[in-house]
A and B are shown apart, each in its own frame.
Chain A
Amino acid sequence: MSFPPACVLGKVGLKIDGRPILEAVSLQVGPMERVAILGPSGAGKTTLLRVLGASLAPDQGAVQILDKNPWQLKSHHLRELRSQIGFVPQDHALVPNLRVWQNVAAGRLGRAGGLRHLRRMTLPRAQELRALHGVLEQVGIGDLLFATTSTLSGGEQQRVAIARSLYQEPALLLADEPVASVDPTRAEQVMALLVRLADENRLPLVVSLHDVALAQRHTDRVIGLRGGRVLFNLPSKELSATKCEELYALPGQEETPR
């Protein structure tokens, strides 16, 4: 049985304040594929992830996410699509003075619910608490269920953000710079966690990263992004050192032969 690809971008272009951020980006993410987006700062990685997360509409090109074009959907269908995409933002975007379980439960606010959300966020049923505890256990912090979010360490907060995405029961998991500010050992742990979660929940995973070696160890495919253009799109094992040099070269050094 073959699944359709999770995301397809065809020649996507995007300008913000007249400055091109993405230019003719084409890529495909297969079902259950793990993809890393590599590139120097300002290459457009976050923007690309937001396009994949159906939160930013491109100016040109075709977008197909989970078999739908988000920008042709009616608003409630767009919300439905978004509720199937788990996005772990770089700054976690948690509400610091809510409890951990509330921040995780917010993952399901994208579903239809109206006033029922109010009950879910204030008086959770035992069965909901079990589910919340369950996802927190999956990311390894089940005991922090009732802690106040602001008292958590940065790493724990990131896990809460991941748990919130998992609680969405998504069909696609995106993570923006999940290892941007942690030491190498932690980075390894976080990547292993994300990959494990993607495996357990049978999700395609797209991660933006700086570290080439980390990407090669944990993902199936790497996409190099530079100046808003795709520089390479290769299986991780085929990535050569030359390509990396080219990706991270400082401006003006591009042509320097090695």
Chain B
Amino acid sequence: MKHDLPPGRRQPVRLFALLSFALLGVLVAGLMGLMPGDLIPRESGARTAMDFFQGALHPALQHNNWVPPNAPSLFEAIAAATQRTLLIAFAALGLALVFALPLAFLGAECTWKGNTSLWARWVPKFTRLGIALLRSVHEYLLALLFLAAIGLSPGAGVLALALPATGILAKVFGELLDEAQTRPFLALENLGATRATALLFGTLPRALPDIAAYTFYRLECALRGSFILGFFGFPTLGLGLRLAFEEGDYPTVWTYLYALIALMVIFELSSAAMRRRLRS
């Protein structure tokens, strides 16, 4: 497909595509009233920004505003929030993983290939539709819905993070299974294994390192999501950040930001190390 046209003839098509792409951006921006002039911060905004970035230099080490006398110190509060942030992310991803693997098998092509029954025609289609539906609602929108439906509890946050994660994991796992070598699968079928057994011991083990690596990547995403859940009132790191921001207490905001950055760095390093090992 790449080489069906001589380079000389492909060039104008590309140029046209690029120009229309850029034009589309400008046009939409114009329609939405997005003017480059609005990129300059307001006067009050500029002041806010100054204050905000000055906070980066001296993050708060203790509560800057009044707290009840026996309240935990800022660090204790951050440590507790960090723990909840982590636990919500892990609980959500664990739940997602449990449901994603079976869904991935049901939706994968390799599960049904060569099977001509009615099941084989419709089950994967419906599974894929379900996976797309799970993915389509953003986790923060779900969080707001669950707040209304269940009430403010960490469980609602866990569910909100877990549902879209299930969809995304199932989709990618299915693709990974389809990509895995089929020879061991066929060999197992030839020595009399049932299709399910052959998939479980012929196809899955080959895809497992990739599946684990992707799960670790998704864990990072769940952690970011868990942090943001705090903005909607869930007791994670984002809650403290938002409250401090609304009070204009930028040093405390930065303390929370540094906690987030440290968490993300530790996480990304360890998850990168894990993924490297999974490859070798």
Contacts and interface: CB of A to CB of B under 8 A. Distances in A.
Interface string B140-173: 0000000000000000000000000000000000
B193 A110 contact: yes
A107 interface: yes
A117 B187 contact: no
Interface in A88-135: 89, 91, 93-98, 102, 106-107, 109-111, 113, 117-118, 121
Interface in B187-210: 187-194, 197-198, 200-202, 205-206, 208-209
Nearest to B197: A109
B184 interface: yes
B197 A87 contact: no
A100 to B, nearest CB: 13
A80 interface: yes
Contacts of A107: 191
Contact of B192 (A80, A98, A121): A80
A118 B186 CA distance: 19
Contacts of A54: 190
Given A97-B209, A117-B197, A83 B191 contact: yes
Contact of A82 (B184, B191, B208): B191
A83 B192 contact: yes
B183 interface: yes
Interface SS of B by simple majority: helix
B193 A95 contact: no
Interface residues of B, number: 20
Interface string A176-200: 0000000000000000000000000
B205 A55 contact: no
Contacts of A164: 191
A91 B184 CA distance: 10
Interface in B51-99: none
A11 interface: no
B205 A97 contact: yes
Given A109-B197, A117-B197, A117-B201, A95 B191 contact: no
A39 interface: no
A7 B205 CA distance: 34
Contacts of B201: 95, 102, 106, 109, 117, 121
Nearest to B192: A110
Contacts of B190: 53-55, 82, 85, 87
A58 B239 CA distance: 68
A79 interface: yes
A111 B192 contact: yes
A81 interface: yes
Given A53-B190, A82-B191, A87-B190, A93 B184 contact: yes
A168 B202 contact: no
A198 B189 CA distance: 23
A55 B193 CA distance: 12
A217 B209 CA distance: 45
A109 B193 contact: yes
B192 A93 contact: no
Interface string B251-265: 000000000000000
Q: Which residue among A53, A81, A109, A113 has the maximum number of chain B CB atoms within 10 Å of its CB?
A: A109
A96 B198 CA distance: 15
Nearest to A86: B191
A102 B205 CA distance: 11
Contacts of B192: 78-84, 109-111
A94 B184 contact: yes
Contacts of A80: 192
B189 to A, nearest CB: 8
A95 B209 CA distance: 12
B197 A95 contact: no
A58 to B, nearest CB: 16
Interface in A32-80: 53-55, 78-80
Interface of A: 53-55, 78-87, 89, 91, 93-98, 102, 106-107, 109-111, 113, 117-118, 121, 164-165, 168
10 contacts: A55-B190, A91-B183, A93-B186, A98-B205, A106-B193, A109-B188, A110-B188, A117-B200, A117-B201, A165-B191
The 7 closest A-B pairs by CB, nearest first: A110-B192, A83-B192, A93-B187, A82-B192, A79-B192, A109-B193, A93-B183
Interface of B: 183-184, 186-194, 197-198, 200-202, 205-206, 208-209
Given A55-B189, A91-B183, A109-B198, 6 more contacts: A79-B194, A81-B192, A83-B191, A89-B183, A109-B197, A111-B192
